[in-house]
Structure formats: structure tokens, C-alpha cells
């Protein structure tokens, strides 16, 4: 199947290739240094940069980066082993919402497919599961680059139509997932927070490294509506006709509280969290996501 699909547009890949110097460092560190091999002498590869501090060996100073940024960075090297990654994409009905060029589902699928493309180019293993109130289509983990075609074939016919559940599908996935891996959850997280917490706990109990990418439409974050508006109910919610200006302050307060609770929940479980808007360019989205993941890598490295 051609990679030229709505979830892996060549323009998207061109955006990724034009990441600035810092983002490229993050990508390199993320791909090469996420999971290090405990076997001494297995292989030694560049992992990531850190800022220079007095006393560091100047032989490891990155002179090219100094010329570009006028800042001092030290190259760090770690033993590496290839990564296993599972992409969990929410295909519930609320992901169908969108007021821009892409719905939340299309945006999340594009981000997931692009991340899979990068991982496979690095010869890491990546697989995909779709879910709503149950686990749906499966693409097993593989490092074969042809797996990107399997993912695109799985994404293309997907139609978000059912309700969301977080506890059941995440628990079922945790039971089936096998070896410790990186798990990337892509969802708007429109579900009761207690079910989300239960689901995330099962993943962490299996010792997976979990990253949460919360996808929101720009209007869900800003509520810019002015005139009387008919809001279409999703996931068995009724339609509502309302004067939005009278609702704005209350809506934004509730939405911010929800986002804050999700962020704190992830923090308590040492889960990385990134809030993404469909109004963001994918370049900025992936840069922010990979930068956040690199912070986790640096933290785990320093604890060893």
C-alpha cells in the first residue's frame, strides 16, 4: 500500500525533517538512548546532549553545536538496545469532533503514524492497537519497515462511533502486552478520571514506560463561539442549543480543571504528559512530545 495516505502525507514527513537543531538532538537522544542495554560492551552509541558544567572533559564538547547555538553541550554516550513501542489510539466517537482541517482522530492518527515512521526508520519495533470501549484492531510489534503499511491499512477504515472506556481496554492490553515496552496513549481522554487512573495504573504495574498524548480541538480549549449554537452530542449525549457567551466562563473553568487533574495524575505515576491541539503544526507537536520524552530518559539515566 502506498504511504501517501491522509495519515502519512509527504508534507508531514518534510515538516519532521526540518526540525531545528534542538529538536533534532531530542530525536537522536530519544531514538538512540531510550532504553540502554545492561550488557557491558554490547555497543556504545551517542545518546543525548547535556549542558556543559565546569570539570567536564572537553574532548566530549560538541563544537558543531556550539557554533550553531553559542552554547556549550557535552555529548553523552550510552549502551543501547532497540526499543519496543505500542501506540494505543482512541477511536471513540468523541475523537470524531473537529472544526479545523483535521478531526481529533485524524490528527492523532497522523501523529501516531509519523512517530511509527520515525521509530521504524531507526529499526525499533512498533505496533498499534485501536480502542474505544474495547480493544479493536491490532498491528503486532515489528521492526520491519513494511509494518508502517500495516498500520496505515488499519487506520484508513477506522470510524470513531462508540463510547470511550479507559479502564477495560487498558487493562486488557496490559494483560496481553508481554515484555516491558514504551506505551504511547493517544486520546482526548474524555472519560471519567477514575477509569483513566485505573487503566494507567495497570500499565505502570506491568512496568511499561507510559506517555500520554491528549488531543484536543482548538475550539474545545478556547470556546470561541458567539451566536446561539447547536452543540451536537457525542457518545450518547443529547444535542444542546445554547447561548455560548453565558457558558464560556464556566466551561473554561471546568475544562481547565479537567486538564489539571489529568496532568497531576500523570505526574503522580511518573507518566509523561503532553497536551496537543489540532491547531498546532505537527512539527511543533512532535518536537514537544520528543522533548518531553527526552526529559524522562535523562531522569532515568541519572538514577542509574
Round to whole Å and give the CA distance between 63 and 84. Answer: 33
What's the confidence (pLDDT) of residue 25? 38
The pLDDT confidence band at residue 71, using thresholds 50, 70 and 90, is: confident
The pLDDT confidence band at residue 226, using thresholds 50, 70 and 90, is: low
Q: Give the model confidence (pLDDT) of 44-60 as tens digits.
A: 455 556 666 666 667 77
Residue count of the chain: 304
Q: What domains are defined for the chain?
A: 83-282 (3.40.50.410)
Round to whole Å and give the CA distance between 207 and 216. Answer: 28
> Mean pLDDT lowest for which of 96-100, 191-195, 226-230?
226-230
DSSP tally for the chain: helices H, then strands E: 10, 10
* Cβ contacts of 7-11, under 8 Å, gap ≥ 24: 7/106, 7/109, 7/110, 7/112, 7/113, 7/152, 7/155, 7/156, 8/110, 8/113, 8/114, 8/117, 8/148, 8/152, 9/110
Report the percentage of the chain scoring pLDDT > 70: 64
Between β-strands 209-216 and 272-277, what pairing exists: parallel, antiparallel or unpaired? parallel
In order, the DSSP letters of 182-199 are: EEEEEE---S-HHHHHHH
Round to whole Å and give the CA distance between 275 and 259. Answer: 8
What's the confidence (pLDDT) of residue 65? 76
Flag whether pLDDT at 36 surpasses 80. no
Handedness of CA 102, 104, 107, 110 (dihedral sign): negative
What's the confidence (pLDDT) of residue 50? 62
What integer is the mean pLDDT of 7-30?
45
| Average pLDDT value for the chain | 75
Name the one residue in this structure whose C-alpha cell is 508531514.
12
Flag whether pLDDT at 33 surpasses 80. no
Flag whether pLDDT at 229 surpasses 60. no
Q: Give the model confidence (pLDDT) of 202-224 as tens digits.
A: 999 998 989 999 999 988 888 67
pTM of structure: 0.71
Round to whole Å and give the CA distance between 80 and 41. Answer: 10
Round to whole Å and give the CA distance between 237 and 254. Answer: 18
Amino acid at each position: 500500500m502506498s504511504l501517501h495516505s491522509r495519515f502519512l502525507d509527504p508534507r508531514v514527513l518534510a515538516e519532521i525533517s526540518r526540525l531545528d537543531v534542538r529538536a533534532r538532538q531530542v530525536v537522536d537522544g530519544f531514538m538512540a538512548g531510550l532504553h540502554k542495554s545492561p550488557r557491558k560492551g554490547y555497543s556504545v552509541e551517542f545518546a543525548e546532549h547535556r549542558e556543559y558544567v565546569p570539570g567536564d572533559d572537553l574532548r566530549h564538547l560538541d563544537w558543531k553545536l556550539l557554533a550553531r547555538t553559542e552554547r556549550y553541550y557535552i555529548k553523552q554516550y550510552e549502551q543501547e538496545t532497540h526499543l519496543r513501542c505500542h501506540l494505543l489510539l482512541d477511536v471513540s466517537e468523541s475523537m470524531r469532533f473537529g472544526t479545523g482541517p483535521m478531526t481529533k482522530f485524524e490528527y492523532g492518527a497522523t501523529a501516531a503514524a509519523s512517530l511509527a515512521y520515525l521509530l521504524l526508520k531507526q529499526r525499533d519495533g512498533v505496533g498499534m492497537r485501536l480502542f474505544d470501549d474495547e480493544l479493536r484492531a491490532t498491528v503486532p510489534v515489528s521492526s520491519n519497515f513494511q509494518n508502517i503499511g500495516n498500520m496505515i491499512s488499519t487506520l484508513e477504515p477506522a470510524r470513531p462511533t462508540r463510547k470511550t472506556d479507559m479502564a477495560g481496554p487498558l487493562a486488557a492490553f496490559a494483560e496481553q502486552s508481554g515484555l516491558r515496552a514504551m506505551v504511547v496513549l493517544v486520546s482526548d481522554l474524555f472519560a471519567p478520571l477514575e477509569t483513566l487512573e485505573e487503566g494507567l495504573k495497570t500499565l505502570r504495574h506491568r512496568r511499561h514506560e507510559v506517555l500520554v498524548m491528549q488531543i484536543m480541538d482548538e475550539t474545545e480549549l478556547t470556546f470561541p463561539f458567539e451566536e446561539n449554537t447547536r452543540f451536537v452530542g457525542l457518545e450518547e449525549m443529547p444535542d444542546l442549543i445554547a447561548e455560548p457567551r453565558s457558558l464560556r466562563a464556566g466551561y473554561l473553568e471546568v475544562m481547565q480543571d479537567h486538564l489539571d487533574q489529568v496532568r497531576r495524575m500523570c505526574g503522580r505515576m511518573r507518566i509523561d504528559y503532553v497536551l496537543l491541539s489540532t491547531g498546532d503544526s505537527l512539527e511543533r507537536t512532535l518536537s514537544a512530545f520528543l522533548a518531553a520524552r527526552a526529559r524522562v530518559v535523562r531522569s532515568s539515566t541519572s538514577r542509574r
